[in-house]
Amino acid sequence: MEARSAGLMRFFLGALVSFCAACPSARRNEPVDRVASAIVAVGVSAASPLSVARSHHTATLLFDGRILVCGGYTSIGFTTDACEIIDPATSQVVPVAGMSDGGSNCSPGDRAGHTATLLPDGRVLVTGGVQENGGTPDWITGPCRYDPVANQWTSVPAFTTGRAFHIASLLNSEGDVIIVGGQTASNSYTGTCRRYLHDGGVGSRFDLPCGALTQTRGYHAAFAFDGGVYVVGGVGASAAYRDTWEVYMDGGWTLGGTTMPDGGRASLVVEPRGDGTVMVFGGHNATTTFATGFMFDPGMGTFSPEQPVLGEDAGRTGHTMNRSPTTDDTIVVGGDVFPFEDGGAGIGSVVALAADGDAGRTTATPRYAHQSVLVNVADAGGPALVVIGGRSAGVSLASVEVMCLDNLAARRCAVGGRCVAAASTNPTSVCQICDIDAGGYVALPDGTGCATTEFCRVNLTCTGGLCDGGVPRDCSGVADECNDGACDEVNDVCVKVPKIDAGAACADAGSDAGADGDAGSDAGSGTDAGTDGDAGSDAGAGADDDAGVVADAGAVGDAGTGADAGSDAGAGAGADAGVRGFSPLPSCASCSSTLGDGGGALIWISNALIFLSLRRRRRR
């Protein structure tokens, strides 16, 4: 029996330790640090920068809304093979596999002045480019193909003539692509055309000629229309700036019968519009950087000089153009003024080309030889233009800027690389709101009431754009005889916390003991009188028994005739209401409901331990 009791004692002690380990701590959580967001006060907002500064690179919008950025000049005369992906939904930039990983035909992987075409299966075809490492340029013949799902580059059989600053255009839904023209050496240009046949596998190849331009040209512009590919402008041998256009249709090239109104130009940019016409803007020739533009109607094959002159006081080349889906304006970003030199400072203004010549915003960094990509992110509030890299004052840029296109109509702010609605609250500070005039988040006036769930404080006010001050939340209203009131700093609500003295007396005793500890009237309500013996012999004096712990002897029962508890059980200073009995649940209902299952079990186990201790003394 002694061994059995000792075993039971070890069992209950182990259970008690387990329950205590699971008990919630009364210690409050440490407060969470508050980080104030930088207040952006420009119409174009900086996003996360590229990991590699670059110019003359490519930026391709993938089907999942991300942007693949590859290659370019890291500095004058030095190219890179590095690629990275911009996620406009998060404004984050992540490096991915470089072009040199694609095998022998991707070598050299580092290049600038190449093209990148999104194929119908989601992969990206990169063609041509020039490789420089401070020495003689290498004009690249090897294409590469990138799979954004696998983050993997593969080789594609090479074409015969290396080239850069050419054009590539998707021909059909099967994924066939043509490349045409380009620079093949210093001051040397080609008019050759090669067709890429895409079969989705290793059989893809550049093995089909597609005629040749009637005029050699590089730094030209191209667009697709009605099943054909049109090229406009460019520069040819002996610095001959082209004022002509040609179209690829039914396997061959045809020279158009009209010319551009202002003469030949290279590095011009074209942007198809919703009405089927194409806007042509900017560029340069040997003496002039153009600030004019005009419309081209490919269906009629005509230019329209009678259209209002589009542009500004300074011409630009090395710029980008995108059409706004909200206003149908054409957005011109950056560029440089002739002569187009590596040390040019670049232009920072952004212009909306429309009939009334609306003025726009400015980029934080003037730039040219950059890329701009139109994105439409639902949770960013609509369309935005992502401006990527470029060059300024001879230095390649790693910066990425985001412009909300309807900023031009003053409807959204560009902040943190994202577009947010006017008067919307900064998610990192309730004391900052989007202000259209400022172009970003601004602080609410000091003293404005505010609320936050991060801290257990009330009566907070805005100070310097942060919600602060106030007084601690009063949680005394939830306290009772078994619990203190405390504030949960995670959820900012008042909760009950058990008092340390779990044995304190409670209002709802739950037993029928006599006021002076005379158990004689109730002790005999139980059974098993003969088996367990006389309670009076083991009752003990009050020194060993706590009325709040050993409760209601009738729960176990002893001495069916009354157990003579009055002679022994009630004599001591603390032996109240029976000796051997203990309740399987705490007698105080309010404590039990407050402590929950774990708290009730702790009291039950405590009762059991005292009972077993008394039993062992009796057996001895």
**Interior CA angle at 414 toward 412 and 419, to 5°?**
65
**Interior CA angle at 445 toward 441 and 447, to 5°?**
135
Highest average pLDDT, of 9-18, 261-270, 591-600, comes from 261-270
> 284 has which bridge partners?
266, 289
Highest average pLDDT, of 359-363, 479-483, 547-551, comes from 479-483
SS3 for 401?
strand
Give the whole-angstrom CA distance, residue 421 versus residue 434. Answer: 7
* pLDDT at 320 (0 to 100): 94
Give the whole-angstrom CA distance, residue 62 versus residue 147. Answer: 11
Task: Find out whether 345 and 366 touch, Cβ atoms under 8 Å.
Answer: yes
3-state helix/strand/coil string of 443-474: ECCCCCECCCCCCCEECCEEECCEEECCEECC
Whether the pLDDT of residue 492 is over 90: the answer is: no
Single-letter residue type at 119 = L
SS3 for 547?
coil
Give the whole-angstrom CA distance, residue 426 versus residue 37. Answer: 8
Highest average pLDDT, of 8-12, 84-88, 504-508, comes from 84-88
Whether the pLDDT of residue 338 is over 90: the answer is: no
Give the whole-angstrom CA distance, residue 96 versus residue 12. Answer: 58
Tens of pLDDT along 406-438? 644 445 677 666 777 778 888 888 999 888 777
SS3 for 216?
coil
Highest average pLDDT, of 1-5, 185-189, 500-504, 597-601, comes from 185-189
For residue 601, report the phi and psi dihedrals to the nearest 5 degrees: -65, -35
* pLDDT at 135 (0 to 100): 86
pTM of the model: 0.65
4 dihedral zone (left: phi>0; alpha: psi -120 to 50; beta)? alpha
Question: Model confidence at 550, in pLDDT bands (50, 70, 90)?
Answer: very low
Task: Find out whether 486 and 497 touch, Cβ atoms under 8 Å.
Answer: yes
Percentage of the residues of the chain whose pLDDT score is greater than 90: 36
Tens of pLDDT along 290-311? 888 888 999 999 998 644 444 4
SS3 for 153?
strand
Give the whole-angstrom CA distance, residue 299 versus residue 512. Answer: 102
Closest to 578 in 3D by CA, of 608, 612, 546: 546
